[in-house]
Amino acid sequence: MTLKLTQKERLLLEDQKKHEQVCVEKYQAYANQAQDPALKQLFNSYSQKEQQHLNSVTQMLNGQVPTMSSQQSQQSAQSNIQNATSTSSQGGAARQSDKALCTDMLMTEKFVSGAYDTAIFEFADPNARQALNHIQKEEQEHGQGIFQYMQSNGMYNTQ
């Protein structure tokens, strides 16, 4: 399906493209820095998903609405979240380092999800809105996975 973008829609997608590029780079870098193997795996998985988001946004900028696979996304998200909740036995400095990486990525996911929220409301094409909504949902799942990892490892206290 061909997508004709307004100037505002194009600018919003350009912003989202930059956000996705940053997410890919950060998740890749943080996967290399993480001490806990479960966190490395989580970050590597999210890096791949962010690359898919980047590809989808690029498709939209090229005038094509991407096809989104929600069933596959749901299954992999649940798997990543379950894997992330395994508790770590790492020491103090390594734990603090991983906590800092998680805190930064959780803030990043909150920001990116909010930016998608704005973009969704600005798009006229319902298929484009649906694609952006799908990506935003996955961003929220990334945040949930990071939150659950942090909470299960005593890095995030909600009380």
- What is the domain-level CATH number for residue 51? 1.20.1260.10
Look-up: residue for tokens 């998608």? 116
Q: Which of 29, 14, 5 is nearest to 105 (CA)?
A: 29
Domain count along the chain: 1
How deeply is 52 buried, as exposed, middle or buried, from its count of CB atoms within 10 A (0-12, 13-18, 19+)?
middle
CA distance 26 to 75: 24
Domain span including residue 62: 7-69+92-152
pLDDT in tens, the chain (159 residues): 789 999 999 999 999 999 999 999 999 999 999 999 999 999 999 999 999 999 999 999 999 999 887 544 555 555 555 555 555 556 677 788 999 999 999 999 999 999 999 999 999 999 999 999 999 999 999 999 999 999 999 998 877
